Structure 1
Amino acid sequence: MDSKNLSLLASFDELQKINKITTQSCLEEFLRFVTSQEECRLKWLDAVRETQRLKRLLDESKKENINLDMKLTTARKLLDQEKLKKQRAEEERNKIDLQLQMVRDLLFADNRNLIHDETKEKLKFLNSTTRSRMSNDYNDRLSAIQELDSTGSMLSDLSFSRSDDDLDLEAVLRKKRTYKKQRPSTDFDELPSVKRRRSQVIELNQDGVAERMVATTTVTMEHDGSISAQSQIETIPSAMNAPTAPTRCGSLESVESGLSIENNTGYNQGTPSNPGVLPVGSNKINMRNHLFATKTVIRPEDCDVCEKRIKFGNSVNRCQNCRASCHPGCKDSLPLPCIAPGNTPISKRNMGVIADYVPSISPKVPALVVHCIKEIEDRGLTETGIYRIPGSDKEVKALKEKFMRCRGVPRLTDIDIHVICGCMKDFLRNLKEPLVTHSLWWQFTRAAEVHSVEERRSKLHQAISQLPQPNRDTLAYVILHLLKVAESKEANQMPISSLATVLGP
C-alpha cells in the first residue's frame, strides 16, 4: 500500500514538472531569436547591395579603362605625327640653311665676285641670319621631352609609355613656328655635272628708301667635283614701297570713311604681306572674319561661345588671328569682328601704351575697344546715364582680365552694359600714356584756345596728324562712337557736355 502511494506521489511530481515546463512562457527567448535573425537579414542585404555597387564600379572602371586606352592610342598617334612633321621641317630647314650657306660663300668668300661696298653693307644680314637662328633655335622650341627613338607600330602597347602626359597646348601655341613648304632640292651626288640658277629677291628699307635687290647665282659642278659659280646682283628701286607723307584728315567724315571703307583692292587676308604697305581703309573693321584652323584637343579647354568643355581628342576650331577656340558647330556664333591681339609682351601688373594692344593691320584699334563699342552700340545707346552710371568694380576687373588674356572675345551679351562701359573707361584711363600723348598735349590745348574756327580746326588737324597711328586710329574710333551716343541724348540723357565731363581728363 505504501509503495503504491509512493509511486503515485512520484508520478504526480513528474506530472507537475511536465506541466510547469509546458505552461511556462518562452516569449522573450523567441523575441531575441527573431531580432537576431532580422539583424542577420539586414547584414545580408547590405552585403548584397555592396556587391552590386562594387560590380557597377568594376564595370565603369572597365569602360573608363577602355576609353583611356583609346585616348592613349590617339595621343600616341598624334605624337608620332607631330614628330614626323618636326623631322620633315628640320630637314627642310637644314636644306635651306645649306643653300643660304652656299649663297653666302659665293657672295663673301669668293674674291672673284666684285661687289660694291654699299651692296655688301646691305647684304650683311645674310651673315647674321643663320647664326641668330641657330642660337635661338632651341630657345624657341618646347621644353625637352624624353622620347623613344622609334615609336613603332600604333598597334604595339610599347610604342609610347609615359605617366605624366602633360602637354600644354598654350605653350605650343605661344612657341609654335611656321615653316613654309618648299620642294626639296636634288642631291648633288645624283647629277655629275649640272648648272643651277637661282634668283633671290630681297626687299630692303634703309634710310627711308625702299629697294628691291635681285641676286642671280649660277652654280656649275663638274665631274671631278670642282665647283664654279657666277653671281649677278641688281638693285631696283621700288616706288610702290616708298614711304608716303602722313595724310592729314580734312574733316571728321574723312576719318570715318577711312575706318569703314569697303575692301575693293582685292587684298587676301589669308596671304601674308607687309602690313606697312596696306592702305588705312583696306579693311572694314566691323567685317573682319575669323580664319579658322581645325585642331585636335590635347589639353581640354572651354568653348568661347557656349562656354562648355571641349574634351580630349575632340576637334576644335581655333582662329589663327584672335586665338579664339570653339566647337565646330559654334564657329558661326563666334563674335565678330576678328581683332588680333598685340604682339608686344605686356606685364600683368602694369599697363602698356595703346600700341601694345593693337593688331598689325590698319585701322589699329585694340580688340577691347572695338568689341566694347560694338556691344554698347547694339544695346546701350538708349540706356539712361550711359558712361555716367558706374558698373560693379569686381565685374569690370574680371571682364578686363578676360580681354587681357589675348584669347578670343568674352561673351558680352550677358554682361551689364554699364560694366562694359566701365571696362573700356578703365582700359583707356590706365594706359601708360593716354591717347593724346604727353608730348602733343600742349598742341591740343593751344588749338582749343584759338578763337577762330578755321584756325582751330587747322591746328587740331595738324596735332592729330602727328599722333602715332595706333593713337590716331583709336581716338577717331572712340570719337565717332561718342558722336553716336550724343545723337541719342534724348533717350540716354548724355549730351556732349556730359560725355566730356565723364570721359575728359
Structure 2
Amino acid sequence: MVSWRSKGAEMFSKKNWSRARKNSEPTLGAKNMPPTPIFGASLEDAVRASHIAGTPMVPAILYRSAEYLEGKGKDEVGLYRVPGSHASVQKLKKMFDTGKDHNLLTMEAIDPNDIATLLKLYLRELPSPLLPAVFVEQFQSVISTDRQVCHSLRGMLIRLPRPNYIVLSFLCHHLSKIASYAERTKMNVSNLGVVFAPTLSIGSVLFKALLGGYYDP
C-alpha cells in the first residue's frame, strides 16, 4: 500500500507544480496601480501589485522571504519557532506593504527569525484562509486508509482556487526545504507543524500530509 507519508509532497510536484510556474510572466499593469497594503489584501490583489517578473505567481513578500530563509536560515536553530524582533518585523512589513520588491539577500543586518516571523504574519493576515474550511472538513472526512487519503487529498487540492493552489504549493515546497535542514535547525516536519498548523488553521495530520513527512527522523 502506498503511504501518504511518502507521497504527500508529490501533490504539488511535477505536473501540478508547473501550474504555479507556467504563468511567471511580469505582472501587467502593476506599475500603474496605486499602492495598496499587501498585508491583509487578497492573494489576487497581492500578486497583481507585487509579483516579481520571472518568479512563481506569488506575492513578493512570500518569494523574497522564502528565498532568504532557504539561503541564510539553514543553520538557525528553531527557525520559524523562535520569534523575531517586533520592531524589525514591523519595519519589514512596512517595506513590503508598498508593493515594491526588496531583495533581502542583498540587505545587511537581517535576522532570519525576523523574516520567518514576517512570513507567518503575512499568512495570518490573509483575509481568508489559504485552505478554505470546507476543504479541511472534507479532508477530515476521508481519513480512513493511506491510499484513500493520498488519492482524496490530490483530488481536493486541484479544486482549490488557482491563487490558493499556487501559494500553497510554493509554501509547501519551501517548508519541505526547511525541513531538510532539520539536523541543523531542529525543525523537522513535526516541529514545523506545531508552528504552521495553527497559522494555516489546519490540523497537524493535514499539515504532515501536505509536506509528506519526508524529513522526520
Scaled to the shorter chain, the TM-score interval is 0.7 to 0.9
Contact 2:40–2:127 (8 Å) recurs in 1? yes
Q: Does 1:446 align with 2:141?
A: yes
Q: Does 1:397 align with 2:154?
A: no
Partner of 1:282: 22
Give the superposition deviation at 1:429: 0.7
Q: 1:344 to 1:456 in 2, by over 3 A?
A: farther
Q: 1:355 to 1:381 in 2, by over 3 A?
A: same
Contact 2:43–2:164 (8 Å) recurs in 1? yes
Q: 1:420 to 1:500 in 2, by over 3 A?
A: same
TM-score w.r.t. length of structure 1: 0.33
Considering fraction of residues, name the structure with more strand: 1
Q: Does 1:416 align with 2:149?
A: no
Q: 2:123 aligns with which of 425, 428, 443?
A: 428
Partner of 2:4: none
Partner of 2:148: 455
Contact 2:83–2:114 (8 Å) recurs in 1? yes
Gaps of 5+ in 1: 1-249, 262-278, 292-318, 324-340
Per-residue CA distance 1:408-434 (angstroms, 9 max, x = gap): 215453211110101100000111112
Partner of 1:373: 66
Q: 1:435 to 1:445 in 2, by over 3 A?
A: same
The aligned runs of 1:131-280 (5 Å cut-off) are: 252-253=9-10, 255-258=12-15
Greater radius of gyration (CA): 1
Contact 1:322–1:407 (8 Å) recurs in 2? no
How many equivalent pairs are there? 186
Per-residue CA distance 1:171-197 (angstroms, 9 max, x = gap): xxxxxxxxxxxxxxxxxxxxxxxxxxx
Q: Distance in 2 between matches of 1:374 and 1:403?
A: 15
Partner of 2:165: 472
Give the superposition deviation at 1:378: 0.6
Larger RCO of the pair (alpha carbons < 8 Å, separation 6+) = 2
Q: Distance in 2 between matches of 1:364 and 1:373?
A: 14
Contact 1:344–1:356 (8 Å) recurs in 2? no
SS at match of 1:386: coil
Q: 1:280 to 1:480 in 2, by over 3 A?
A: closer
Considering fraction of residues, name the structure with more helix: 2
Q: Distance in 1 between matches of 2:187 and 2:126?
A: 25
SS at match of 1:352: coil
The aligned runs of 1:13-32 (5 Å cut-off) are: none
Q: Percent identity?
A: 27
Q: Distance in 1 between matches of 2:34 and 2:156?
A: 26
SS at match of 2:134: coil
TM-score w.r.t. length of structure 2: 0.72
Give the superposition deviation at 1:388: 0.6
Contact 1:358–1:364 (8 Å) recurs in 2? yes
Per-residue CA distance 1:377-417 (angstroms, 9 max, x = gap): 01112211100110001111110111110122154532111
Partner of 1:483: 176
Contact 2:64–2:103 (8 Å) recurs in 1? no
